[in-house]
Chain A
Amino acid sequence: MSLSSSLAAMSAAFVPRTAYWSVRLSTGTRLSERQLVPTWHEGQRGVRVLDWTLDLVATGDIARVREVSLFCPDGRVATLDITPDMPAFQFKTKSLEMLGAGALEYQVIGRVVDKESGRCECFAWDYRPKPGESHLVAYKTSVFHFGAWRDTVTPLGALSLEVQGLRL
């Protein structure tokens, strides 16, 4: 973790125009991706932002998540209750373009409501909604075939269960 990447992590933790996730664990602890985590790499101290895969899935805390929230840039907060039968997931998407700019497409929090079919309920902060449509979207799809609520972004298809820490 270099000085520059630590600075980038601190910057990322305080960007007001982006959405971010937060979870409440069964212990009552709240964690969010706006938190900074100390690092020690090749003799250098640094920080990085709290990471879903590294700090929830890898630590086993993903099994203790009881609530997942999406804090939106406009101040609204979308929250989903989580149980062992309805596990949580979270991700962002980005489009990188040749002959154009790159940008975040949307950020999603969700819960799987049927493990067999992968059916899930989500809230998304859409950074590029179609004209007249809301940034905050409630959406139902499947983690095995994640779709799209607008025809200006490609459907994602299957989410990586390993990255999300989902055991279906």
Chain B
Amino acid sequence: MSDFTTIRAMFNSNTDASPTWNALSFGGSAGANEIRWCASSAGAGGTGSASWPQYNRPASTGSVPEMWGFSADTSGIKCATYTGDNTKANVMCIDFDNLGTFASAPTFTAYGDSTHAAPSAGTQPGAQSGSPIVNGANPDTGTSTITGYCKCNWYGDDQTGNPTAGSIGTNPSATTRNASGSVSPGAAAWLSTWQDLQGTIAYITHRRTPAATTAGKMFFSPILFTGPGMSTGTLQMVLTFTYAFA
């Protein structure tokens, strides 16, 4: 069979050196299979999506300090290695089984919602629920090139073992972009400069096509920034993993 039976996201609830990977199926709905961000110590695993604590818009740009994964609406676990900076390697991953065969290197990006409409850089609030994040704002996320608020790093190798713990790349700011279009890390390496996720304007392509019918993981680390230029509301960007199979 060329397609996969299981491809899922995972997040780490333990230490960087000894990760405990918790699965989230793709296709979140009704509060399940969501990644949620909040202020320090504001989250709780039993809080439903509709009651999730708001994060006050700050006076200056900065990263949102906590990230949680929810397998069900009121069943969440804090991602222990999400620190809103570059200090931890084992934060999230894509886990895939040995039943499928990739036909190219997969890509990873963020859209404003499931329509995958092209982002409009700098437009606030934009047309989709997650557009305030994906579109970015001038000057919060740049002035001439306006990047998205969500930054991401990606590991070059797909493998079953975990990458070495520790810092990954240069600590990003709200204006960081590696390059417009696609960027890819090198072999057994993280991106030295983080990439923002802005639809097809800025995204990440895995370094290689993973081996056929071989299970593995692709490791990544997202950071959500915010700032005074971001529109408020319930913002639901869609992190999107796109792959080809024969």
Contacts and interface: CB of A to CB of B under 8 A. Distances in A.
A132 B107 CA distance: 26
Contacts of B115: 152
Contacts of A152: 111, 115-118, 199-200
B20 interface: no
Interface stretch (A22-30, A70-78, A114-122, A157-165): A157-165
**Max chain A C-beta neighbours (<10 A), residue from B5, B117, B246:** B246
Contacts of A98: 9, 24, 26, 28, 33-35, 238-240
Interface in B228-246: 236-246
Q: Is the interface of A mostly helix, strand, loop or mixed?
A: mixed
B101 interface: yes
A108 B101 CA distance: 16
B203 interface: yes
Given A9-B1, A153-B242, A163-B102, A99 B209 contact: no
Contacts of B246: 51-53, 90-92, 163-164
Interface in A112-157: 128, 146, 148, 151-157
Contacts of B182: 154-155, 157
Given A99-B239, A100-B27, A48 B1 contact: yes
What range describes how many residues of B lie at the interface? 35 or more
A153 B238 CA distance: 13
Contact of A94 (B130, B239, B242): B242
Interface residues of A, number: 38
B127 interface: no
Nearest to B117: A152
B101 A163 contact: yes
A61 to B, nearest CB: 14
A101 B29 CA distance: 8
B116 A160 contact: no
A59 to B, nearest CB: 14
Interface string A66-101: 000000000000000000000000111111111111
Contact of A92 (B7, B26, B33, B245): B245
Interface string A8-43: 010000000000000000000000000000000000
A149 to B, nearest CB: 12
A99 to B, nearest CB: 5
B212 A99 contact: no
Interface string B104-117: 11010101011111
B166 to A, nearest CB: 26
Interface string B181-212: 01000000000000000011001010001001
B72 interface: no
B104 A99 contact: no
Contact of A100 (B9, B113, B244): B113
Interface of A: 5, 9, 48-49, 51-54, 90-102, 105, 128, 146, 148, 151-160, 162-164
11 contacts: A51-B246, A54-B2, A91-B246, A97-B111, A97-B114, A98-B238, A151-B200, A157-B205, A160-B102, A162-B209, A163-B102
